[in-house]
Amino acid sequence: MHKYFFYLTLFLVFINCETTKDDTTTIDLGRVFVSSETQSKIGIFDFSDINNKKIVEYEITSDSSAGIYFDSSRDIVYQVDRENNRLNAYSRLSTNDSGSAILPSAVGTSDFSNPRGLTSEGNIALVAQAGSSDNGEQNALFMYDIGANEITLRNQFDVEYQLWDIQLVGNSLYTARDESDTLVIFNNFLANSSGPISPDIKIRLEGVTKIRGMHYVLTNDLMIVTDIGDPTEGVNDGQVILIEDFKLKLSAALQQVRQTISSSDMIFIKGSNTFLQNPVDVIYHEFANRIIVAERSTNGGMFLSFEYPVQDTQTNEFNLAPFYSINYSGISSLFFND
């Protein structure tokens, strides 16, 4: 049975869970949409009014969700339904009251299982399937034509490695190779037809153990990845990695035999102050210069926001306490709407 949460309760919970360094310096972060693997809801952290920060939640029928995307021009949320193995659309979300139960305006067919990342460009969406016993260990990408009232499978692409996060940037697809230190890139991705596809670029990141989340900022040429570390090493071994001037460093690394970006060319947020143990997704707020992370393990799930590190010549590792630290059970993915 689903429980229905009302606005006042949610607001009080949000404030009670939140910690900040200095609330007088709060910057507008807009709205951040979140999915959860353990809660039947769509969550929105709304920072658009810095004097009235709040969380808005809508009850949905799925008990577990992964990727999330908001089309602001059409007021539609797309969310990966892990329970029913499909892509759902929720149209005119803003017309619903906080705490209300909502039903999808469109549902896709059950084409995938063990879904992870979601990315969208225009009228298409792409879902990543990680190989598992339920899908014959097949790693794949599923492309859909999407709208408010219809979601239709267009293509299925099979890949040779375990997928987690994905991001379309123009005609290029960036992917995180799970259980590895490697980013994989497909150029001219949208020209592919259904079937097996091979990547154009594989680049390793020195000092990284297991990539999960990934976010590329084209205007800043900034790549951000999250690393869940080694589960056998205990808590606080997760990290966020920033690679500035990414295209330049990528090009230089591809000329080397090892095809690896050096750890000296990266910035690390890591350590006991960060709460980072199993960071599964990350986004970057350019205006506020903040890094927002979905931390899956600590306290059962946390929404974390870090100030961008102030660099000096002494170190490229920063044991930062988050600017925001908010408990959110089962948090699995993020999407920023400006």
DSSP 80: E
Q: Is residue 97, in this structure, part of any structural domain at all?
A: yes
Q: Is the pLDDT of residue 155 over 90?
A: yes
User: Residue 219 corresponds to which tokens in the numbers above?
Assistant: 């205007």
Q: How many domains does the chain have?
A: 1
Average pLDDT over residues 293-301: 96
pLDDT of residue 189: 97
Q: Is residue 315, in this structure, part of any structural domain at all?
A: yes
Closest CA to 166 of 113, 121, 210, 214: 214
Strand partners, 182: 204
Cα end-to-end span (Å), the chain: 34
Provide the pLDDT confidence category of residue 23 given band limits of 50, 70 and 90.
very low
**117-152 pLDDT tens trace:** 999 999 999 999 999 999 999 999 999 999 999 999
Q: Is the pLDDT of residue 3 over 50?
A: no
**Could you tell me the CATH number of the domain that includes residue 120?**
2.130.10.10
Place of tokens 């990695």: 241
CB of 69 within 8 A of CB of 48?
no
Q: Is residue 173, in this structure, part of any structural domain at all?
A: yes
Q: Is residue 211, in this structure, part of any structural domain at all?
A: yes
Q: Is residue 263, in this structure, part of any structural domain at all?
A: yes
Closest CA to 59 of 10, 3, 1, 106: 3
Closest CA to 35 of 336, 335, 333: 333
CB of 326 within 8 A of CB of 274?
no
Q: Is the pLDDT of residue 233 over 90?
A: no
**39-89 pLDDT tens trace:** 999 999 988 777 777 899 999 999 999 999 999 999 999 999 999 999 999
Closest CA to 104 of 156, 67, 58: 58
Mean of all residue pLDDT scores within the chain: 90
Structural domain boundaries, residue 100 = 7-19+28-337
Q: pTM to 2 decimals?
A: 0.90
Q: Is residue 327, in this structure, part of any structural domain at all?
A: yes
Q: Work out whether the CA dihedral 174, 197, 187, 33 comes out positive or negative.
A: negative
Place of tokens 């100030």: 307
Q: Is residue 1, in this structure, part of any structural domain at all?
A: no
Q: Is residue 2, in this structure, part of any structural domain at all?
A: no
